[in-house]
């Protein structure tokens, strides 16, 4: 059960309040897909302090199974990179995180698995704009922590293939202005948004796209070099990838519901 928010905007399970307001989204100096730099207004929302872990996602799989009613897998259960397994290499549970990886970010999660996990918790995936505001704040910073270059204490990056770290591996030096942690590095993150050119306009259909939409992922991965770490970088995946997952994509949940009274 959630508890009331503390003065720092943190509830009992570590969900962070991002207050309504406009912020600067995008960049005019990096990849063209990030341009133009533009102002976007976002209403109050809450976002998980940490990425969803293998142990948390295994609980969801044990409650709902490995596929949704439309037959779409919730995670790529037959991929050797996955860190959640049942008693055999198949889509049947019960599931558990691999020993030693319980607190690592869940990987090989499909977009449908991320969406439905958040719904199971009474939440949703963040929009692309919400993700960037939670990571960046309002001052055009390049990294969640400011302008200083990435270090191992700020971001999990430059590692070997599939060498994730616990979601609590970085120090408060790496958190965003709102106290959200691990937003750059470890794994990239699914958003609710369909990939479309900027400027970002929530009402243009990108937040109401169908199941075959190309979905945006934000952030950077443990095996990305430090030069790819920035809060404005955006990538997208077509339906085949959306329905299978990757070793470098995880997620966290958000909500517009007022969490202050819980």
Overall average pLDDT of the 172-198 stretch: 96
Number of alpha helices (DSSP H) and beta strands (DSSP E) in the chain: 4, 11
From the list 56, 53, 46, the residue with the least C-alpha distance to 10 is 46
262 within a domain of the structure (yes/no) = no
**Average pLDDT of the chain, as a whole number:** 91
8 within a domain of the structure (yes/no) = no
Please report how many Cα atoms fall inside a 13 Å half-sphere around the Cα of residue 227, on the Cβ side: 1
Highest mean pLDDT among 24-33, 62-71, 74-83: 24-33
Dist CA 21 CA 259 (whole Å): 18
Q: Provide the pLDDT for residue 109.
A: 97
Q: Provide the pLDDT for residue 140.
A: 95
Dist CA 125 CA 253 (whole Å): 5
Q: How confident is the model at residue 93 (pLDDT cuts 50, 70, 90)?
A: confident
Overall average pLDDT of the 1-11 stretch: 31
Task: Tell me how long the chain is.
Answer: 262
Q: Provide the pLDDT for residue 87.
A: 72
Number of structural domains the chain divides into? 1
- pLDDT exceeds 70 at position 2: no
202 within a domain of the structure (yes/no) = yes
From the list 15, 34, 2, the residue with the least C-alpha distance to 236 is 34
- pLDDT exceeds 50 at position 3: no
Q: Provide the pLDDT for residue 10.
A: 36
From the list 136, 146, 125, the residue with the least C-alpha distance to 213 is 125
Q: Provide the pLDDT for residue 88.
A: 63
- pLDDT exceeds 60 at position 128: yes
Q: Are 62 and 85 in contact (CB under 8 A)?
A: no
Residue carrying structure tokens 């937003």: 183
Please report how many Cα atoms fall inside a 13 Å half-sphere around the Cα of residue 43, on the Cβ side: 6
Dist CA 152 CA 130 (whole Å): 25
Overall average pLDDT of the 220-233 stretch: 95
7 within a domain of the structure (yes/no) = no
Q: Provide the pLDDT for residue 15.
A: 92
Q: Which domain holds residue 124?
A: 15-255
Q: What is the pTM of this model?
A: 0.92
Q: Provide the pLDDT for residue 216.
A: 97
261 within a domain of the structure (yes/no) = no
Break the chain down into helix, strand, coil percent, rounded to 5.
20, 20, 60
Cα separations in angstroms, 54 against 79, 87, 167: 15, 16, 10
List the CATH number of the domain containing 197: 3.90.1580.10
Here the tokens at position 132 are 């960037």
Q: Provide the pLDDT for residue 107.
A: 97
Q: Provide the pLDDT for residue 163.
A: 96
Residue carrying structure tokens 């970002």: 200
106 within a domain of the structure (yes/no) = yes
260 within a domain of the structure (yes/no) = no
Q: Provide the pLDDT for residue 89.
A: 60
User: 170-195 burial string, b = 16+ CB within 10 Å, else e?
Assistant: beeebbbbbbbbbbbbbbbbbbbbbb
60 within a domain of the structure (yes/no) = yes
Cα separations in angstroms, 117 against 90, 237, 252: 20, 19, 10
β-pairing, 188-194 vs 249-250, is: parallel
**Angle value at C-alpha 60, between 55 and 65, nearest 5 degrees:** 120
Kindly report, residue by residue over 242-252, the tens digit of the pLDDT: 998 999 999 99
Write 200-203 long-range contacts (CB < 8 A, 24+): 200/25, 200/26, 200/38, 200/40, 200/128, 200/129, 202/127, 202/129
Overall average pLDDT of the 201-219 stretch: 95
Percent of the chain with pLDDT over 90: 82
- pLDDT exceeds 50 at position 215: yes
């Amino acid at each position: 059960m959630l508890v009331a928010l503390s003065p720092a905007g943190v509830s009992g399970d570590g969900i962070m309040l991002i207050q309504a307001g406009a912020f600067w989204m995008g960049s005019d100096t990096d990849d063209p897909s990030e341009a133009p730099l533009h102002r976007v207004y976002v209403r109050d929302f809450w976002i998980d302090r940490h990425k969803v872990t293998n142990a948390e996602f295994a609980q969801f799989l044990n409650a709902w199974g490995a596929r949704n009613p439309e037959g779409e897998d919730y995670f790529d259960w037959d991929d050797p990179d996955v860190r959640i397994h049942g008693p055999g290499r198949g889509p049947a549970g019960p599931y558990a995180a691999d020993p030693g990886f319980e607190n690592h970010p869940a990987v090989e999660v499909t977009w449908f698995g991320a969406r439905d996990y958040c719904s199971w918790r009474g939440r949703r995936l963040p929009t692309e704009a919400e993700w960037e505001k939670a990571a960046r704040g309002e001052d055009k910073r390049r990294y969640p922590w400011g302008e200083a270059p990435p270090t191992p204490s700020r971001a999990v990056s430059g590692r070997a293939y599939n060498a994730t770290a616990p979601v609590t591996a970085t120090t408060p030096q790496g958190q965003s202005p709102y106290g959200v942690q691990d937003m750059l590095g470890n794994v990239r993150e699914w958003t609710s948004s369909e990939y479309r050119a900027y400027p970002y306009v929530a009402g243009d259909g990108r937040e109401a796209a169908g199941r075959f939409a190309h979905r945006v992922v934000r952030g950077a991965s443990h095996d990305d070099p430090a030069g790819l770490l920035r809060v404005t970088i955006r990538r997208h995946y077509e339906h085949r990838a959306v329905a299978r997952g990757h070793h470098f994509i995880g997620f966290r949940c958000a909500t517009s519901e007022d969490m202050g009274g819980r």
